[in-house]
Amino acid sequence: MRNVQNRIPRRILTGYLIGCVTCGWALGATGWAQPEYTATITTHFSGTSQTRSGSEVLVLNHDGAATIQAFVTTAGDEVLTSSGSDTLTTSYKLTGAALGGSADGDWISSAAFIAPEKSYSVEGTGPSEITIWVRGICAADRSNNAGAYTGSVILTVTW
């Protein structure tokens, strides 16, 4: 019998490259406070079928209504993956008062989180705190490989 604990991921890092699409007529005050954010799942997995999540607060400077959408550079970048290509079932959500009714109340699958499936309406003026959440779930029938799992999404703001 093999030792299951040797294959459990120890940490998960998810990077977010933040981008803004500008319009020639738009005021220059809209944009992310910093160009990159990282959400880390710090609680280790210790068995099969376990769920772990992490979050990061993003700050959006805006002087009016805007729209946020998530994109990826390469298909599959949104899925938490190890260097050995082992994957976790991945889901996301965005929350924050400025998102009003478009904020997620529940987890969105990684595929449905990516545009054009989903977009978020930012209301009012900022700066606004928007929290991105990431969740990984280990396989039910086997242990995932140990190590760091990463994913990458680009959050783009248009106004």
Give the pLDDT confidence score for residue 29 in this predicted structure. Answer: 59
Give the pLDDT confidence score for residue 18 in this predicted structure. Answer: 43
Q: Is the pLDDT of residue 13 over 50?
A: no
CB-CB contact of 82 with 145 (8 Å)? yes
- Region 4-8: what's the mean pLDDT? 38
How far apart are the C-alpha atoms of 89 and 91, rounded to whole Å?
A: 7
The letter for the amino acid at 68 is I
Q: Is the pLDDT of residue 51 over 50?
A: yes
Q: Where are the chain's structural domains?
A: 12-158
Give the pLDDT confidence score for residue 27 in this predicted structure. Answer: 41
How far apart are the C-alpha atoms of 88 and 12, rounded to whole Å?
A: 10
Q: Is the pLDDT of residue 73 over 70?
A: yes
Q: Is the pLDDT of residue 2 over 70?
A: no
Q: In terms of DSSP H, where are the helices of 17-100?
A: none
Q: Is the pLDDT of residue 22 over 50?
A: no
44: its two tokens? 């280790």
Pick the CATH number of 12-158 from 3.10.450, 2.60.40, 1.10.10, 2.40.50: 2.60.40
The letter for the amino acid at 90 is T
Mean pLDDT of the chain, nearest integer: 82
Lowest mean pLDDT among 4-8, 56-60, 63-67, 117-121: 4-8
Q: Is the pLDDT of residue 46 over 90?
A: no
How far apart are the C-alpha atoms of 153 and 74, rounded to whole Å?
A: 10
